[in-house]
Structure 1
Amino acid sequence: MMKSKILAVCIFSSFLLIHCNSTIIKKPTVYMVGDSTVKNGQGDGTGGLWGWGDFIGQFLDSTKVKIENHALGGTSSRTFQDLGLWDSVRRELNKGDYVLIQFGHNDDGPINDDFRARGTIKGIGDESEEIDNILTGKHETVHSYGWYIRKVVTDAKAKGAIPIVLSPIPRNKWVDGKVALNNTTYGLWAKQVAMEEKVAFIDLNTQMAVRMETLGESKVTGTYFYERDHTHTTARGAVLASEIITDELKKTTNTLQDYILEDPRILLPKKRNLFLVGDSTMADNGDENAVGWGVPFPVHFDTTRITIHNKARGGRSSRTFAYEGLWDSILKQLEPNDFVLLQFGHNDAGNIDKAKYRGSLPGIGDEVQEVMRPDGSTETVHTFGWYMKKFIRDTKTKNAIPIVLSLTVRNEWPDDKVEQRKDSYVKWSREAALAENAIYLDISDRLATKYQDLGKNMVKSFFPKDHTHTGIEGAAFNAKVIAESLKQCKDYVLRDYIFIQE
């Protein structure tokens, strides 16, 4: 009995010893300090912009090393330290940690102004400038770019951490097929500091420029950078930069290379979906004289982050879209946080119980009408608003986001005013959206106003076939107006994915 107790105590003591020893083992941390090209915003991809620090962790073995991205957009090597951001990192540093350092994009600004006051003296020397900071009201000694980089390096070394200096990521600026480099300014100065301090240097500026030139400007713009922003990368651009950094790290004698995965599995942010649900005024009808606005609509979206599915179908009303199972097929594809644009009305005024069988009852109430179809089956027909409310509710049950649009206007000008159905389908669309607490946009009114400004003759060219369907020119005009309307609504998450093409 005594031997059993002794054995149990020994086993328990061994377990405690092993457990305690395991807690003593601390994974090294890779810290990143820099500007928005390292971490954009909150690092959540707002506006589709990402820093390479948000993805480099996917190239490293997270079971052996931790990642902490402390970069802050808008900072220079100077303001990152003046704001106390470097001190907060320095205090946490332990022996064996790593610090990736990249600054330069914001160091070229004014040294003293009332806007940002973030510039540094050019070069790596010891010269300084005394200022009374207009922005902060404080007396300040401003140093050179190299001085600030050197301070981060020496502070890190003093804590036993391993600093790695990087030249700033290149901007998406091209001259005669070549990417503009900063190898005579901040890229050079970063390299000089690294050499003087005998620490690893990664020439991200040159190496990424080489990769960009291999791809070509037309491939880079729209995939790795946006046309609207030559400084900040897309997710793919951030991954490209991270890949270059880790490839360059493998060539150094720095021990961080021991944590680089041989075959990393890179996960890009999941794309959201936008479903277009409506009739021929939205659909791809395969007819150059009857082009729905949904056809050119994607040109106004960041399709690297959102996929647009044009599910509109010519000749359909809200009723037939549901009756034919078209709506159910969309429901099966809907995922949480997807978007659904709903727009009907042009065909809902058709026959309820005769050929085409596509008319819906007027209003948004619960009235019904039993209709005998040609095949002998009975269909329960509801109001236009009933169908719209069903689409809204069904979308919400999928945790997706419904957006109701009033129908497009026709090329009809009673009393020299653009025709609108304000007392019927426009009104009922709005009421259905209001009843179900859904987003609503009065596209009819917006288009009518635009058409009125253009005048009859110009608008006539938009409708080569009839008064309802637009050609490609009219479809492009309508698509832009709708995209602008969505973009102007600050409360809609969808606006983040829209950029208006001129």
Structure 2
Amino acid sequence: MPQPLVRIQLTLIIVLLTSLLSFSSPVQAAPPIRIQLIGDSTVATYNKPPKDRPDMTGWGQIFGEYFTNDVTIFNRAASGRSSSSFIREGRWKKALEEKPDYLFIQFGHNDCPGKGDRETDPATTYQQYLKQYIDEARAANIKPILVTPMTRRRFENGQIWTILRPYADAMIKVGKEKNVPVIDLHKKSVALFNQLGDAGSSDFSPSESDRTHFSRKGALEIARLVAEEIPTTVPELKPYLKQPTPKKD
């Protein structure tokens, strides 16, 4: 058999074997990752909820329900904390020591005016604290993700009335300056509550008088609003989401 023909046949065999091996090789699974959450009472976990609000649930408490088993969630959010007090109390230092792969940051409710030494200015100190979280997280090889604070369920003339937009805007500004992904949960929650109305969203609250925190149903919906933004905002986390993203009850 002429040598050129032999070489052609060998080349074809090699190509065929390579194709078969490539086809039969299993798709490599996404490696396990660790996600940490820091924030206030709207994010926190309630293992022992208040007796008058037994269904009280933070969205961080059930965030893991939107992810596959390859994700471990560490919810370090704490009730009553602001961007400043979380650092001042040493909670941020302890959170950093866990060295997660990703860090979701949501503060704002306790940064608002009237919160005493927890209060921050959205134009100055609030942004400074956010930048501290970002810089120190990156120094520890942790990827930060900013989440603007969701609105309270306070309505005026049938529409949401909020004082948190300046903090949401400040967080978006910091995200652009620091090249950090931002999920605008404030905008999404305002749109959702305006759509549902006061009566239509009433079962999102843990009690009739509490318009800041959430029932389990409300927390699931708020967590869903965050999760559904992940494919476009943090695309590398998309393989870890359960598909499709679950909807509200």
TM tier, smaller: 0.7 to 0.9
Shift of 1:415: 2.9
Deviations 1:457-476 (A, max 9, x none): 12111113301011111011
Instruction: Point out which structure has higher relative CO (alpha carbons under 8 A, 6+ apart).
Output: 2
Is the 8 Å Cα contact of residues 127 and 174 (structure 2) preserved in structure 1? yes
Shift of 1:455: 2.2
Is the 8 Å Cα contact of residues 151 and 164 (structure 2) preserved in structure 1? no
Question: Aligned AA for 2:56?
Answer: A
Is the 8 Å Cα contact of residues 364 and 432 (structure 1) preserved in structure 2? no
Is the 8 Å Cα contact of residues 148 and 167 (structure 2) preserved in structure 1? yes
2:136 to 394, 414, 418: 394
Distance 1:273 1:85 in 2: 45
DSSP-derived class of the 1:420 partner: coil
Question: Aligned AA for 1:363?
Answer: P
Alignment of 1:48-447 (within 5 A): 87-88=14-15, 90=17, 270-285=31-46, 286-287=48-49, 288-303=54-69, 305-335=70-100, 338-351=101-114, 354=116, 357-360=117-120, 362-365=121-124, 383-421=125-163, 423-447=165-189
Shift of 1:88: 2.1
Deviations 1:371-392 (A, max 9, x none): xxxxxxxxxxxx1111111101
Distance 1:311 1:317 in 2: 13
1:497 to 231, 240, 247: 240
Change (3 A) 1:320 1:233: same
Report the equivalent of 1:213.
none
TM normalised by structure 2 equals: 0.81
- Percent identical residues: 27
DSSP-derived class of the 1:316 partner: coil
Is the 8 Å Cα contact of residues 404 and 433 (structure 1) preserved in structure 2? yes
Question: Aligned AA for 1:298?
Answer: G
Question: Aligned AA for 1:448?
Answer: V
Report the equivalent of 2:219.
475
Shift of 1:332: 1.2
Distance 1:399 1:405 in 2: 19
Question: Aligned AA for 2:246?
Answer: Q
Distance 1:431 1:492 in 2: 21
Change (3 A) 1:85 1:310: farther
Report the equivalent of 1:368.
none
Change (3 A) 1:461 1:85: farther
Change (3 A) 1:86 1:497: farther
Q: How many matched pairs?
A: 227
Question: Aligned AA for 1:454?
Answer: L
Distance 1:85 1:415 in 2: 74
Is the 8 Å Cα contact of residues 347 and 358 (structure 1) preserved in structure 2? yes
Distance 2:107 2:12 in 1: 54
DSSP-derived class of the 1:318 partner: coil
CA RMSD of aligned residues (A): 2.7
Is the 8 Å Cα contact of residues 82 and 107 (structure 2) preserved in structure 1? yes
Distance 2:175 2:23 in 1: 49
Higher helix share: 2
Shift of 1:418: 1.7
Question: Aligned AA for 2:79?
Answer: G
Is the 8 Å Cα contact of residues 420 and 444 (structure 1) preserved in structure 2? no
Is the 8 Å Cα contact of residues 364 and 386 (structure 1) preserved in structure 2? no
| Higher alpha-carbon Rg | 1
Change (3 A) 1:395 1:456: same
Deviations 1:284-318 (A, max 9, x none): 12313421011121111012x22111111011011
Unaligned runs of 5+ in 1: 1-83, 92-98, 104-231, 236-268, 366-382
Unaligned runs of 5+ in 2: 1-10
Question: Aligned AA for 2:212?
Answer: T
DSSP-derived class of the 2:59 partner: coil
4+ runs of 1 displaced by more than 3 Å? 84-87, 99-103, 232-235, 420-423
TM normalised by structure 1 equals: 0.42
Is the 8 Å Cα contact of residues 316 and 347 (structure 1) preserved in structure 2? yes
Deviations 1:217-253 (A, max 9, x none): xxxxxxxxxxxxxxx8885xxxxxxxxxxxxxxxxxx
Distance 2:39 2:22 in 1: 52
Change (3 A) 1:407 1:389: same
Change (3 A) 1:86 1:277: farther
Shift of 1:478: 0.8
